Chains A and B, each alone.
Chain A
Amino acid sequence: MGLLSRISKAQRRTIFGRFVLDWMPRLSYVMVAVSFFWLLALPHQNYSHEVYLSENALLPGGANTRFDYSDVLAAEAYRDTVQRISTLSSYERAKALEQEFAQIGLKAATQNYTLNTSTDSKHGVNTYAVFYAPRSDGTEALVLSASWTSRDVTANTNAIAALLALGKVFKRGSHFSKDIIFVVSDGEAEGLMAWLKAYHGNEENTKDRAEETLHIRSGAIQAALNLDFAGTGDYNGLGIFFEGVNGQLPNLDLIKTVTYISGGLALTLHDEIVPYTDNMTKNYMNSLRRMLYMMKYQAAGTPSGNHGLYLKYKIDAITLYGFNRPGLDANRYGLFRLGSLVESTVRSLSNLLEHLHQSFFFYLLSGIHRYTSIGLYMPPVIILGVSFIFQALSLWGESSDLSLEVEAIAQGKEVPVTLPYSRRSRSFKTPATIVGMSFVAGLASFKLVKTEFGFPGETPLLKLVASVGVCTMLVFSAVSAARLRQHLLVKNEAEKKKAQVNSKSSSGEPAPAADWIMLKTFILALSALMVTTLSALNFSMAVSIGVVIVLPFMIFRPSKFLILNAIQIVILSVISPPGLVFLASWLYDMDVSLVLRWVLDGYEIFGTWLLPTLCCIYWPLNIASMVMVLMPTE
């Protein structure tokens, strides 16, 4: 019995060894394939559900709107006024608007702000007015906002006119249980940013940013609508933008409320009208495009409109955007329809008994009516992370006795009893030092890129080149140190062998595992950590990083052929952050320095995580892989 069980133990050991050493890497590639296909299947109709309203208190469309023809006339009059003052200086037009709001009977005020980024200095004046709801106790508020500059980079005339007209309408009614704040912000995003900061009592007065304290306040903001109706004409399309800073999303109920109310007015996602067809392939491609559009904003972390800034303060918000596309009926949405839509939405939001919380915060939209829930889109990222871990575990097994043991069993030498420990020495110091140094280099390049040194001719591009220099130097020094170490080890080994031959005794120690195996284990484990933890914060960013690095990081290993190593290094440098910057500039046909400036602005104005993530987490792993590829094979 004893012998039998021992023999079967050897067989079991072989099976286990084969599984870890041979099948686990293969399995991990299968998992990558599964994950990729799963991701591609997500936009398909069968994997999304109809968006439904979860919060019954909203009662969307239940109210009779008050916005009527006389209000349209008033709005048109305001439109002329706004058009007239839009050419004035920031201060003057803000003051003029303040007066308009005051004439309606709302409490109005202005706010100054200054923001100095490393590349630019921005100054402006916001106007805001509060409608104190007659039946409220002033503890809760809703916000209607519009910025002076539309996303088309023209004046946002219709939106501001609509705000003024709506102020007049609200003033007539007594239905509201929440105060309504009207904000007309200067600039693109920085104005609303300054206003929100000051509203929440975080105003600063430093060298880089100064925000004036607000003089009029209301309660906690529950939800916000940002209007973006450029120009003075009518629109043939109405789109919803909802992606916030760092991929945050508003509660799905907010989007559903607006779509529900709009009813006949066919709303779309973003700024493209996607007609429904019976052609499955076409539908799928449309959904895929919409989803990719959304994921692009999420991954970059920049908001797709000013609504994104509210999300930082736990306020659900979307932007309504009016646009004209050729090939569709013109004049579908004039001020009347837009005004009613916004009024009805505000009435609905005013019904809220508590903060929007019922519906989803994590979703992907493949169309305005279809969502994919987190339960369906999270698994592929987790599978991707597990495939990294499988590779790492397999390498961990390779660096232990397991490979030698399996070989011994296969040769039928003896029936081995497995040792309770690995006799091969694993060196943790070398890989840990290399990984640690790469992280320091990444952090240094992040500091380098974001700091303003103030010497003449300083551009972001120059600083990027400098940080590339730092990282390259690190790679070279690490590689040469590793080669030197290997050289010394080989020399030592040779001396030991000589000594052994002389003394005729054998140490019986198997050779220690190669350094690159340990380093690759480290890199793979850290990549899994990065991808899975990021996915909790920003799914799209995690997916894009994971998809880019998964195959290179898993396949690449030092090779004896120089040409293979060279190819690997080229691919790694293409997917390194500087490589990605150049790739983006080529793809969008933009100047490299413009791309860099866009990234820097995102970090400095919105506080997006793209730059820190790329520099401090993504780049170090890339550097470490480069070192790994260039390391000696034995």
Chain B
Amino acid sequence: MLQKTSAVFAAAFALRLALFEIPGLTTLLGGRVEISTPITSFKRLSEGVFLFSHGVPPYDGGVVHQAPLLLGLFYPIISSALLVKLLYILGDIFIGYMLQEITALKDKDSSQEKKIRQYGNKPEAPGMDGLTVAMLYLFNPFTIVSCVGMSTILFSNLATVAGIWMGMKGVRSLAMFSIAAASYLSLYPSMLVFPVVLLLTRGVVDESLVKKVRIQCAGLYLASLASLFLLSFVLVGSLDFFRSVYGTILGVSDLTPNLGLFWYFFIEMFDQFRPFFIVVFQIHVFIFALPISIKLRKSPLFACFLLSAVMGTFKGYPSVGDAALYLGLLPVCSEIFKYMRYSFLIVNLYMYSSILAPIFWYLWVYLGSGNANFFYAIGLVYSIGEVILLIDTTFAHARREFEAQSPPEPSGGPDLGWDRVVAQK
């Protein structure tokens, strides 16, 4: 087992290293709008680091929209291409490792639960093991191109998954710190505070203790966030970054096309309506956090997946890196797979959109025979795929819960295992 694990991780490492070595590939992928957005582009980050190292305030020019501590992280190593590559590769591999650990912890949890009885009175088959989950993340094309394209969404994903991992482990301070770091890097993961707190309180029966943990977590989260902001202020010496980083994420001021739903809408919009629709669009992202956390309080891990998928679909600057995060979290909940009804459709939608997006971009930008509608249409198809995934997984989860509550009668004939005799009661 250990051998297999190390082989998988070594293969993932080697593949990324080899792809980094292909000349021009990093620049090509890094320039794709589907992979790097204004808030995750490595090119803009390097610009920021350059300005920072030359004593120019990096957030003045309206180019850099990445968090100050990210500049601080890259400042000492950006001159060495190898170190930067290693940072990306190891970051990606660490996410894979954490997903494996999360799955292992979840298996341990579910082994104590009552097994769902299935037709023919058989126990439910176990879900995917941790290694498969890690493999599905590490060899997902979206993950690979996002890593090789050096999108800084990787660090936000890293912090998010670390938060979930620590939540599973029950380490309050680290879990809250990680989620705070993820929120600090790209704001939206702040939604995950609720399911991660649920993760921390799972299995706790005592109401007062739960309350205590919740208050403690809220305090920890706010303290970590405040300390991160303070550290950033010390680093860059001004509070300009608030406007440049979070102002851009929330205000969507850079309308470079991407796979999301915002840019096309706001290019067309008259200025007087802009603030209103910005608020509507952003509320639409955040509004899911509480209802999902309340409804799925029994399965916070699934809530984490669902919320990251909501983030990746409805945020202002989505990229395939966001898809990599939720598609990595999805196999953790692999027990719902067989209840899904539209998997064929979803896989096809993802394939069509990921092939047609570059083609339509080419028709629009290079040949001039297409136009912006082409690319936006594919963005819509991609979003439809994501939404159907959200709906289908939610349905599958609910269906499984129903199965658990009302297990089938084991009276089906031996060769008619799929029958459930309906008795008139």
Contact = CB atoms under 8 A, between A and B. Distances in A.
B366 interface: yes
A415 B339 contact: no
A408 B416 contact: yes
A423 B420 CA distance: 13
A423 B125 CA distance: 11
A525 B348 CA distance: 8
Given A508-B417, A533-B355, A361 B369 contact: yes
A190 interface: no
The majority secondary structure among interface residues of chain B is helix
Find the residue from A361, A416, A419, A421 having the highest chain B CB count within 10 A: A421
Contacts of A249: 369
A529 B351 contact: yes
Given A361-B369, A393-B344, A533-B352, A423 B421 contact: no
A140 interface: no
Interface stretch (B241-249, B280-288, B293-301, B356-364): B356-364
B268 interface: no
B417 A529 contact: no
A396 interface: yes
Interface in A386-419: 389, 392-393, 396, 401, 404-405, 408, 413-419
Contact of A417 (B352, B362, B422): B422
Given A3-B424, A408-B419, A506-B414, A357 B368 contact: yes
Contact of A533 (B339, B359, B366, B367): B359
- Interface size grouping (class) on chain B: 20 to 34
B276 interface: no
A509 B417 contact: yes
Given A355-B368, A414-B413, 19 more contacts: A248-B369, A311-B367, A396-B344, A408-B416, A415-B422, A417-B419, A417-B420, A417-B422, A419-B418, A419-B420, A421-B339, A507-B120, A508-B119, A508-B120, A508-B412, A510-B417, A525-B344, A529-B355, A536-B363
A537 B355 CA distance: 12
A248 B366 CA distance: 12
Contacts of B368: 314, 355, 357, 361
Interface string A165-207: 0000000000000000000000000000000000000000000
B418 A404 contact: yes
A393 B369 CA distance: 34
B414 A420 contact: no
Nearest to A537: B359
Given A419-B119, A421-B338, A529-B352, A414 B421 contact: yes
A11 to B, nearest CB: 14
B115 interface: no
Given A393-B344, A396-B344, A414-B421, A536 B119 contact: no
Given A314-B367, A355-B368, A416 B356 contact: no
Interface in B398-425: 399, 403, 412-422, 424
A2 interface: yes
A423 B355 contact: no
B403 A414 contact: no
B399 A420 contact: yes
Nearest to B421: A414
B119 A423 contact: yes
A510 B419 CA distance: 12
A131 interface: no
Interface in A237-251: 248-249
Contacts of A413: 413, 416, 419
Find the residue from A413, A508, A525 having the highest chain B CB count within 10 A: A508
Contact of B367 (A248, A393, A404): A248
B186 to A, nearest CB: 31
Contact of B366 (A314, A418, A422): A314
Contacts of B359: 533, 536-537
A100 B359 CA distance: 45
B355 A414 contact: no
B372 to A, nearest CB: 13
A401 B341 CA distance: 13
Contact of B356 (A389, A396, A419, A536): A536
Nearest to A534: B359
Find the residue from B344, B348, B369, B420 having the highest chain A CB count within 10 A: B369
Find the residue from B120, B413, B416 having the highest chain A CB count within 10 A: B416
Interface string B104-125: 0000000000000001100000
The majority secondary structure among interface residues of chain A is loop
A395 to B, nearest CB: 10
- Interface size grouping (class) on chain A: 35 or more
A357 B368 CA distance: 8
A36 to B, nearest CB: 24
Nearest to B417: A508
Contacts of B360: 536
Contacts of A357: 368
A297 interface: no
A51 B355 CA distance: 33
22 contacts: A249-B369, A361-B370, A393-B344, A401-B418, A408-B416, A414-B421, A415-B421, A416-B416, A416-B418, A416-B420, A419-B418, A420-B399, A420-B403, A506-B414, A508-B412, A508-B416, A508-B417, A510-B418, A525-B348, A533-B355, A537-B362, A537-B363
A362 interface: yes
Interface in A418-445: 418-423
Contacts of B422: 3, 6, 415, 417
A249 B367 CA distance: 10
B362 to A, nearest CB: 8
A443 B21 CA distance: 19
Contact of A416 (B363, B366, B415, B419): B419
A389 B344 CA distance: 10
Nearest to B121: A508
A352 to B, nearest CB: 14
Interface in B260-291: none
Interface in A336-388: 355, 357, 361-362
A287 to B, nearest CB: 24
B164 to A, nearest CB: 27
Nearest to B420: A417
Contacts of B363: 536-537
Find the residue from A3, A396, A506 having the highest chain B CB count within 10 A: A506
Interface in A308-340: 311, 314
A362 B369 contact: yes
Interface string B319-359: 00000000000000000001100001000100110011001
B339 A423 contact: no
Interface string A529-546: 100110011000000000
Which A-B residue pairs are the 8 nearest by beta carbons? A508-B417, A361-B369, A421-B338, A506-B414, A416-B419, A417-B420, A508-B120, A314-B368
A521 B414 CA distance: 30
Interface string B69-94: 00000000000000000000000000
A414 B420 CA distance: 8
A121 B404 CA distance: 73
Interface string A486-514: 00000000000000000000111110000
B127 to A, nearest CB: 13
A508 B414 contact: yes
A415 B418 CA distance: 11
Contact of A2 (B338, B348, B403, B424): B424
A423 B417 contact: yes
Contact of A422 (B338, B416, B420): B338
A393 B341 CA distance: 13
Contacts of A248: 367, 369
A38 to B, nearest CB: 22
Contacts of A362: 369
B4 to A, nearest CB: 16
A249 B403 CA distance: 58
B161 to A, nearest CB: 25
B241 to A, nearest CB: 37
A393 B338 CA distance: 17
